[in-house]
Amino acid sequence: MPFRNLDQADLAGKRALVRVDFNVPMADGAVSDDTRLRAAMPTIAKLRAGGAKVILLAHFDRPKGVVVPSMSLAPVAGPLAKVLGVAVTFVDDCIGPPVAAAVAAMAPGGVLLLENLRFHKGEEKNDATFAAALAANGDLFVNDAFSAAHRAHASTAAIAHILPAYAGEAMRRELDALEAALGSPKRPVLGIVGGSKVSTKLDLLNNLVAKLDYLAIGGGMANTFLFAQGHDIAASFAEKDLAPTAREIMAEAKAKGCELLLPIDVVVAEKMEPGIPSRTCDLDQLTPADRILDAGPRSAARLMAAMDTAKTLIWNGPLGVFEIPPFDAATTAAARHAAALAKAGSLIAVAGGGDTVAALHHAGVADDFTFVSTAGGAFLEWMEGKSLPCVAALQV
């Protein structure tokens, strides 16, 4: 999947329009977490070093095409300047004469932050006229917002067909990691898919069974598969109407040579509450009031043994209700084992999705994985094998 990157761009004296993800957490009108600002630093630094004018495009929240003062990006300019260590000028629109004047006044290496793109209806409509108005202030376009890569918006898709388009450094790192995980991975490849509902991940499961050597299914999703196999899952949550679909997926996995790893023991309790009595049991030992809330230690050990033989791991979704101990045990043990293998250089470990990232932080190992994507929907759609419009626009 070759794509254009900044190493191939002539930057000196150019106006670089950079799509970033500055949809940052705010508290009392101030940025409360600057992670996404720091993520943009490598791209901004590379452009400045190359002598480009850096003009930042971003959205914040969902104003739905009207100006909502509380959703302005103005409060981001100060924290961004602090992160970058350089002055950041803010313009209270993203198109038109005020922007053109501010860009003309910039020196090479200067940084400009434009107002919320979603104050204009044309942004989410992928409107060609709005994209042309954005492009009028740039000589090249840099997409550094993989989190928005699954949405064909004016500032991510249409503009990439007007100006020469390149992947920023954060986007480049994400795409390289994803290619290593599923595009042309080192085998064997192990996937972990968790979460509560099979219905939300049908496309994902159908895509993965054709590409993986092993697929471990956890969380509430596993209950549906166990029920489909004929196990009594007692009071556990499951989408019982999807049992035929689960059996189809299991048959497809077998046909494709993908070994499914479902729980062989479980941790149960009568309620999903902190401090509730729980026990570990085999699948044939549930009582009518039991609810399966985590994979058991033998299941976790089998998964870790699969990690030992794998060369690549891709992970989306926890194995249990990790937010409520002790139902975090399997997820935490598996995460720490994967992280240790990744640190030792014997496993390429890539993970993504909001719950997955939270689970890795809970286990204290998010920084030890080869790559952790915070992109949410874009990461999931990529795992589903879908073409991401904004990535396609960057391909050579």
Tell me, yes or no, if 197 is annotated catalytic: yes
In one letter, which amino acid is 81? A
Select from 328, 335, 332 the least CA-distant residue to 294.
Answer: 328
- State the Cα–Cα distance between residues 357 and 372, nearest whole angstrom: 7
How far is 66 from 59, CA to CA, in rounded Å? 13
* Residue 354 is a catalytic residue: yes
Which one from 65, 109, 376, 377 is the annotated catalytic residue? 377
Write down the H helix ranges in 310-364: 329-343, 354-363
What is the spatial distance between Cα 202 and Cα 197, in angstroms, rounded to a whole number?
9
Sheet holding 111-114, edge to edge: 88-91, 111-114, 53-57, 15-19, 140-143, 165-167
Question: Three-state SS string across 223-237, please?
Answer: HHHHHHCCCCCCCCC
Catalytic pick from 121, 125, 173, 197? 197
Nearest to 99 by CA among 130, 60, 144: 130
> What does the alpha-carbon distance between residue 138 and residue 57 come to, in Å, rounded to a whole number?
11
Ranges of beta strands (E only) in 15-115 are: 15-19, 26-27, 30-31, 53-57, 88-91, 111-114
Name the catalytic one among 36, 118, 151, 201.
Answer: 36
| Of 209, 180, 149, nearest in space to 376 by CA | 149
* b/e code 342-361 from CB counts within 10 Å (16+ = b): beeeebbbbbbbebbbebbe
Angle between helix axes 41-49 and 169-178 (nearest 10 degrees) is: 120
Dist. CA 297–CA 78, nearest whole Å = 48
Catalytic residue among 354, 376, 385, 386: 354
What distance in Å separates the CA atoms of residue 369 and residue 193, rounded to the nearest whole number? 17
HEC string for 250-288: HHHHHHHCCEEECCCEEEEECCCCCCCCEEEEECCCCCC
Instruction: Write out the catalytic residue numbers.
Output: 36, 197, 354, 377
